[in-house]
Chain A
Amino acid sequence: MIANTEARDFDVIEVTNEMPPNRIGGVGTVVENLLSGFAAIGVRTLWFLVDHGYQPFEIDRMLSEYPCGAIGTPEELKRFAAPITHLHSYHHNPDLIGALNGTRTVFTIHSLLVQEERSNDVKLTSAVGWQEGLIAACNQVVLVSDAERRHYHALGYDRLNPRVRVVHNGLREVAPVPARAPSRVLGFCGRLVPRKHPEYVQMILREPGFENHRTMIAGKAFSRYARDLLREWDIEDRVDYLGWCGGARLEAFYAAIDVLAIPSVYEPFCMAALEAVARGIPVVCTRIDGLAEVLGDSAFFCESDSYADFRAAMLRWAAAPQAQLLALTRAARLRYQSRFTDIAMAQNYRRLFEEVARL
């Protein structure tokens, strides 16, 4: 085991498969904001990295940039003490459940894998089984939106564990992007999977009204489908794939776009929507799941997840007067500041940890 702290007693041990600065996906983004939220309210936290795929130089960077970190096996969790162990783990490891035996455990489900299977048309059988095992083994399940809670009930997971709470994700305070003339750049941010329909924000470039626009894509997992779409639609020179963006590059991405498009069929929460509205960027999206909870009425919503309805919502955004855009983005940013900050998330978790510790 490697650790950068001498301390052994903490308020909570956060067990994760990923950490900044090289996040693997959305879990890493939530962990990044829990780091700042817990630090702001004084929760003494050990960040325990387990079952990861990082290189030694990445581990060194993590340990130098973030305090109270440890990397080890599930068995080595026993070297530390805390009233609560908080799991974000999604990599299958039977030893983890064994190592948790006798400790109070909160398990945050960042997305229900059965929903991922359905919306992406993939088979995740063993991962689903692992997630269900963790649900049954923990003292408290946390879901990231009320919509996820409804899915949880519909799946019959109350039989596995009826102790369920919703804790919305939060985002560290960021400055709005400065006012500027439109850049005619459409944005997409997220993993490039079928459920997010990244192709919509590229197909729109061929529609009347968008002939002079470009599309900028910040996301992970390029594919043959993405490559072939660019060629078949002859839009290769109008779509900018930036790769998996973080830190200053993510800021530069949001500074460059006029609108963020999220035409997803499933979003447990959608941190990208929160990142956009926190910066005062309008969002065009489907009215589903976490998106509806994060944005309230402050977005250009598609009537369905069809491309035709996405196009109609994009046209409404493009035709919106400046005053309407300003009112909408201000309302969305206020909603973020009042409900979805990193500190609000950290406070909600601290309250929950105190309840679970008393069980």
Chain B
Amino acid sequence: MIVPPFRIRRFGRTYRSPTELRIDLGTIAPGQYRLVAVHNFQLEDRNPDLNECLAGIFLAARRADGGWEEAESFPVECRTLAVIGTIEIAAATG
């Protein structure tokens, strides 16, 4: 899956993902996932424009109880900005 560069306006700021992101879905367990745009707290941000922040993508799995993983939980510890899509990864056949 390829996520092109994007920007999202939230919380009075602009969150930018300046480069294309590639996620290898072949390494992901079967199930439903949300593509969550997040404020990325894991990378050091050196941009002096405080009105801009780093964005990233968190693939949130649907849990057995029907709820979704949260970006704010350990070990991701990022801030949810928006859900930008949902995907389903089927179990391999044969």
| A22–B11 CA distance with the chains assembled, in angstroms | 25
Chain A interface main SS type? mixed
Taking a contact as CB atoms closer than 8 A, the residue among B45, B48, B73 that contacts A244 in the complex is B45
Taking a contact as CB atoms closer than 8 A, the residue among B12, B45, B78, B80 that contacts A240 in the complex is B12
B53-94 CB mask vs A (1 if < 8 Å, else 0) is: 110000000000000001111100111100000000000000
Taking a contact as CB atoms closer than 8 A, the residue among A226, A246, A256 that contacts B50 in the complex is A256
Contacts A242-B53, A256-B50 hold; do A221 and B44 have CB atoms under 8 A apart? no
CB proximity of B54 to chain A, nearest CB, Å: 6
Taking a contact as CB atoms closer than 8 A, the residue among A219, A222, A245, A256 that contacts B72 in the complex is A222
Chain B contact patch, size range: 20 to 34
Please tell me if the beta carbons of A243 and B54 are within 8 angstroms of each other in the complex: yes
A16-34 CB mask vs B (1 if < 8 Å, else 0) is: 0000111100000000000
| A242–B39 CA distance with the chains assembled, in angstroms | 9
CB proximity of A66 to chain B, nearest CB, Å: 15
A209-248 CB mask vs B (1 if < 8 Å, else 0) is: 0000000100111111011000000001100111111111
Taking a contact as CB atoms closer than 8 A, the residue among B45, B74, B77 that contacts A242 in the complex is B45
Contacts A236-B11, A241-B39, A242-B53 hold; do A221 and B47 have CB atoms under 8 A apart? no
Interface residue total, chain A, C-beta cutoff 8 A: 29
Interface hits, B22-69 → A, CB 8 Å = 39-50, 53-54
Please tell me if the beta carbons of B47 and A249 are within 8 angstroms of each other in the complex: yes
| A161–B17 CA distance with the chains assembled, in angstroms | 48
A222, A247, A253 — which one has the most chain B CB atoms within 10 A of its CB?
A222
Contacts A221-B41, A245-B44, A249-B45 hold; do A240 and B72 have CB atoms under 8 A apart? no
| A147–B53 CA distance with the chains assembled, in angstroms | 36
Residue of A nearest to B71 (CB): A222
Residue of A nearest to B79 (CB): A222
Please tell me if the beta carbons of B72 and A246 are within 8 angstroms of each other in the complex: no
**Residues of A participating in the B interface, judged by any CB pair closer than 8 Å:** 20-23, 216, 219-224, 226-227, 236-237, 240-249, 251-253, 256
Could you list 9 examples of A-B contacts with CB < 8 Å? A22-B43, A222-B77, A237-B12, A240-B11, A243-B39, A243-B43, A245-B46, A246-B46, A248-B47
List 18 other contacts, CB 8 Å, given A23-B44, A241-B79: A219-B41, A220-B77, A221-B77, A222-B41, A222-B71, A222-B72, A222-B77, A222-B78, A223-B72, A226-B79, A237-B12, A243-B45, A244-B43, A245-B44, A246-B45, A247-B44, A249-B50, A253-B50
